[in-house]
Amino acid sequence: MLRVANGLWTTRRGSASRQRDKTRPKPDSPLLQPSTETTMPKRQYVDFHIIQTVPPANLNRDDQGNPKDAVFGGVRRARVSSQAWKRAARRAFDEKLPEADQSTRTKRIAGQLAERVALRTGVDPEAAARIAAALLEPLGIKAGKKAGNTAYLLFFGYRQLDEIVDLIADQAQDLAGLDDDQLKEATKKLAVADRLKSGHPIGVALFGRMVADIASLNVDAATQVAHAISTHACNLESDYYTAVDDENEADESGAGMLGNIGFNAATLYRYATVGVHQLVDNLGSVDAAIDAVGKFAQAFALSVPTGHINSFAHRTRPSLVAVVVRNDQPVNLVTAFESPVKETNGIAAASARRLAEEYTRSTEQWGDQPAFFAACHAFEDDVLAKAFGANQPFNTLLSGLNETLTTSWAVR
């Protein structure tokens, strides 16, 4: 039979059911009504939709040093790459975590591990470097051009490094006295890879890890982040600046330095989605996953890439943050801005209204039934209230999100 459970269509196969499936139920048929049964969601996504205005800035540079852009809807838009905002968000929530729970992305895993070996065991730095190299060698990580570096960036947690040190902490002094061949033999069977395959920090669990030549170390990302684009047409501008030498003699004129920085100013639409089911799998805990969603929500909303920030002081807060929990699939609402906003009296307000209208139209057209939807914004607009309900303080929104996720994953 055909039924709906947590917003997901499922079909029980059999000759009779296959025959009935040939006739689509009428829109008012009970078969098309959502099930009231309580089951744990097989898939669950938390969508974040943000409208944010930034002043003249160069948040994310291209190879020419200018702000990145893109053509969308036939016009050029300001653009901030997903990588730039993911890094900003990751660093934002890492700052609030204990050091052991933080993550890092670096080519210096051997150096990082060696430092921890030396600090924990008291062996000298040279011996610690030899031990670290021997521990990592069985993984098959390609060496980089610079001594001690890997050929590519590796994303891991500090606690994972500490757990690798745990493997040899009691025998580090003995290992330090071995020659290279003996050291290699003594460490080759240690479960180093297992320490990197489990106990992932929030950063790795959210954003994943790919090691092209060691597939066993890969972690599927639970989060997707879209490139942020302006809701309106946006042109590149240039700031030609000079710096005066304060110690110039009275008869000297002219600048001590000349420079040029490209910039733009834009109201951006930002979108990200977190697959809660994947996050649960990566972290191995429902409670840890729900906590991580809340940390990501706050970090993604409040973080800003810091390119040229001293020159532009471009840190702002979003004008609107809308959160939608779905049990079917993530939905990017960028189609609201395929036709660029041309409002000259408040682009942010017009963009927020466009977003709300697109959300309402999309949910009605496709019959979506989100498990949760709410918004925190700076506007007085009935269209926003119709789409997302009453305006909420951000902390209240996060509490409602946490309650929804906790309730939906409470069934065992």
* H-only helix segments in 188-330: 192-197, 202-207, 276-283, 286-302, 309-312
User: Rounded to an integer, what distance in angstroms lies between the CA atom of residue 212 and that of residue 393?
Assistant: 43
Per-residue pLDDT tens for 90-114?
999 999 999 999 999 999 999 999 9
DSSP letter at 322 equals E
Annotate 378-390 with b (16+ C-beta within 10 A) or e (fewer): ebeeebbeebbee
Q: How wide is the angle at C-alpha 39 spanned by C-alphas 38 and 45, nearest 5°?
A: 115
Please check whether residue 238 is in contact with residue 188, taking contact to mean a CB–CB distance below 8 angstroms.
no
What does the block give as tokens for 142?
């390609």
Q: pTM of the predicted model, to two decimals?
A: 0.86
- Helix/strand/coil for 136: helix
Per-residue pLDDT tens for 256-309?
788 889 999 999 999 999 999 999 999 999 999 999 999 999 999 999 999 999
**DSSP secondary structure letters along 38-107:** ----SS-EEEEEEEEEEEEE--SB-TTSSBPEEEETTEEEEEE-HHHHHHHHHHHHHTTS-GGG-EEEES
The whole-number pLDDT of residue 33 equals 38
User: Rounded to an integer, what distance in angstroms lies between the CA atom of residue 8 and that of residue 10?
Assistant: 6
User: Rounded to an integer, what distance in angstroms lies between the CA atom of residue 132 and that of residue 118?
Assistant: 10
Name residues of the chain where pLDDT drops below 50: 1-37, 412
